[in-house]
Structure 1
Amino acid sequence: MSFFIDISYDSLNKYGEELCGDKVEVAHTDDSVIIVLADGLGSGVKANILSTLTSKIAATMLKEGSTIYETVDTIVNTLPECKVRKLAYSTFTIVKIYKNGKVYIVECDNPPIFFIRGNKILDIKKIDKNINGKLIKESEFMLEKNDVLTIVSDGVIHAGIGGVLNLGWQWENVAEYLERLSKDLRSAKNISKGLVNACNNLYANKPGDDTTVATIKIREPEIVNIFTGPPKDPEKDKYVIEELMKSQGKRIVCGGTAAKIASRELKEELITDIEYIDKEVPPTAHIKGIDLVTEGVLTLSKAVEKIKEFMDSCSGEYTVYNPEKKDGASILAKILIEECTHINLWVGKAVNPAHQNPDLPIDLSIKLKVVGQLVELMRKLGKNVKLINV
């Protein structure tokens, strides 16, 4: 089936620790993607080493074609042993999704994986197996579009113990919360971040354990096409607009000159929108056939700032990113975070003299630097990015 595997993960460090004892590793093969979440014994440096070793070994060996038996056996025999507790331990969950939609799951002592279809939690049939003293649970089934798989470390289930909740968040409570999130949110990032934010609130912003959520959502591909800046060769103006209009998905034009080129080539009027005014972001405009028209470098810079804050925040209380705002940067950020799986960027290489002014703030100095930051953020969000220089 034709689908996009949307993968996102977010973590909270145990309060007072600089390193997280949980680790997520993602590996791609020609016909599949492998996601591993490992939770090291304890917290801090030792737990971080244990989980990093486990996730790296599992992802690398499975990517190279090793069996689950070989992989688990290697993990058991590789982890360093704690001198105090005489244990070398890391729990883990492995998810392997093939391009045909088949999913293979291996769980070892992590909380059971959450599987949501039609906004409802469904049971997964599992088979118990013993590998070198490790009890693992295997499952295999076919995925459908809009299915959601969520892996968590035990910090999620324990959230609130001794504080907001006496016994912590039980698995069933987390399942109910994930049902609501999956119903309301489109992207894996919003679901994983929503659950992590809820855990942080239950911990009263002082997590008692490393807490990690990895979410996988099977999505219909959503393509966003962005044209920014005039081409270096004016003869390419017509070609770029023709390619933009032939493309599937949303069409966005960023930049005054780019908007004038689109207006001219499409023979459609460029109309400035004065209904919504923001003191920090220039107004948007309208061109028939284009979904969003914004100013260039300043709006892109503000959108990058909003996306960064969204990715970094764990409180759920955003000061910069507000998906309900109607300025160009907020609309662009919301589209790229929530309504995009693939992004095609047509970037004009013509130099705008205004952006070379040394009196301008550094974040406005060079368009290509801003575009580079945007590309990096999009790839971190798991988007498929294609950059076309013109």
Structure 2
Amino acid sequence: MDYFIDVAYGTLIKHGEELAGDMVNVIRMDNCTVIVIADGLGSGVKANILATLTSKIAGTMLKEGADIYETVDTIANTLPVCKVRNIAYSTFTLIKIYHNGEAYIAEYDNPPIFMIRGGATIDIPKKQLHINGRRITESNITLKEGDVLTVVSDGVIHAGLGNILNLGWQWKDVQNYLKKRSVEDLNAQSLAKDLLEVCWDLYYRKPGDDTTVVAIKIRKPSCINIFTGPPKNKDDDSRVIKNFIGSEGKKVICGGTAANIAERELKRKLKVNLNFIDKNIPPTATMEGIDLITEGVLTLSKVLEKVKKYADPFSEDNEIINFNGEDAVSKLGKLLIEECTHLNLWVGKAVNPAHQNPDFPSDLSIKLKLVEQLCEVMKSLGKKVTVNYV
């Protein structure tokens, strides 16, 4: 079977700098996903340039089918030379994971990759290569559902150095922490955010080095289908509902009109839950065969706001964003963040006058704008998004 490669990452910038010296490049292709993490020499602007060049060159070459020898040689001959140290330098980790689980890893001077399988740490077999005087380690492994790979820059291993911890947060300590956290079956985004927040605390909110975490989790594809808004042509109601119900995965309806259309076309009873769990959020409803029914624009706007905050790799206010509530926003957010790998939307283009903003063009509804923004933030989280306008 084909897996979904769930990837999330974030960076804490070194205190006093405006640009990160670490760079991550994720390239999704039809049959594989390429992930590159590069750590430029030093910090600030120069390090940012080195890391950006390395990540872009490596990502593009691997995407086009180049091997590690060509890639490393190109990087070595392209990077500018530091006048102070007289070296052109950027460490990197290259990962190419095919959707069947076959993976190739190349590491150059970055901390070794962490791998967790079934709550246990796994030692990845490696062999040494020497390319243009550089020692590269490479690995070929087969990943399984639930496997988690975590890649970090030096900033993670050095977290707490000279403050809370004399020698920093050692590689083995990070491995033990990841192992303990693995029992909670977190998604990639939660894993990356969690590890970054620990580093943030160890650094007393003043990172002594650029600190980057990339979390990769191998998952089964999980589709979430959302129907919102009535079709532009009323004659299409039956066809749209038929396609929506026949789709693979969980079904969600957002909006009273859309729910009424489903009730009529499916001849199933719509029952509104009159328990207001949150007075600021409209209640949910139930219908046979539908996993979740919510109000439309208001609920979608609050879900979008919450998902955007969650998608932020790290928030300095350290606000805890969770989706454990029983209200409509928490339930829909949980589906989108924790379960969804593929998001399919059926979006009706019949304009509801109640949703019009007089400052917008007459053909642009708030609902459509919300859908566009939701699609963008879900794509930024690595989800595959398909929109069917009807």
Offset, 1:31: 3.1
- Counterpart of 1:291 in structure 2 is 291
Offset, 1:266: 2.1
Write the distance in 2 (CA, Å) between the matches of 1:224 and 1:209. Answer: 39
- Counterpart of 1:105 in structure 2 is 105
1:16-27 matches, within 5 Å, as 16-27=16-27
Write the distance in 1 (CA, Å) between the matches of 2:379 and 2:106. Answer: 27
Write out per-residue CA displacement over residues 74-123 of structure 1, whole angstroms, 9 at most, x where no aligned residue: 11111111111212111000011123321111000000001111121100
- Counterpart of 1:37 in structure 2 is 37
Cα distance change of structure 1 residues 306 and 36 upon mapping to structure 2, 3 Å threshold? same
- Counterpart of 1:143 in structure 2 is 143
Cα distance change of structure 1 residues 357 and 129 upon mapping to structure 2, 3 Å threshold? closer
Letter in 2 for 1:343: L
Write out per-residue CA displacement over residues 175-202 of structure 1, whole angstroms, 9 at most, x where no aligned residue: 1221233321342111111111111121
1:313-328 matches, within 5 Å, as 314-315=314-315, 319=319, 321-328=321-328
Gaps of 5+ in 2: none
Write the distance in 2 (CA, Å) between the matches of 1:35 and 1:313. Answer: 17
Give the TM-score taking structure 1 as reference length: 0.95
- Counterpart of 2:86 in structure 1 is 86
Write out per-residue CA displacement over residues 344-374 of structure 1, whole angstroms, 9 at most, x where no aligned residue: 10000000010115499xxx96111000000
Letter in 2 for 1:218: I
- Counterpart of 2:53 in structure 1 is 53
- Counterpart of 2:159 in structure 1 is 159
Offset, 1:154: 0.7
Give the TM-score taking structure 2 as reference length: 0.95
Cα distance change of structure 1 residues 166 and 67 upon mapping to structure 2, 3 Å threshold? same
RMSD of Structure 2 on Structure 1 (CA): 1.9
- Counterpart of 1:242 in structure 2 is 242
- Counterpart of 2:381 in structure 1 is 381
1:162-311 matches, within 5 Å, as 162-311=162-311
Cα distance change of structure 1 residues 153 and 121 upon mapping to structure 2, 3 Å threshold? same
Write the distance in 2 (CA, Å) between the matches of 1:173 and 1:343. Answer: 37
Write the distance in 2 (CA, Å) between the matches of 1:317 and 1:238. Answer: 47
Write the distance in 2 (CA, Å) between the matches of 1:108 and 1:359. Answer: 53
Cα distance change of structure 1 residues 359 and 56 upon mapping to structure 2, 3 Å threshold? closer
Letter in 1 for 2:307: I
What is the percentage of aligned positions where both structures have the same residue? 60
Decide which moves more: 310-319 or 51-60.
310-319
Offset, 1:166: 1.9
SS in 1 for 2:92: strand
Decide which moves more: 160-169 or 125-134.
160-169
Write the distance in 2 (CA, Å) between the matches of 1:379 and 1:18. Answer: 26
Write the distance in 2 (CA, Å) between the matches of 1:221 and 1:33. Answer: 14
Write out per-residue CA displacement over residues 197-243 of structure 1, whole angstroms, 9 at most, x where no aligned residue: 11112112211111111111110111100000001111111222222
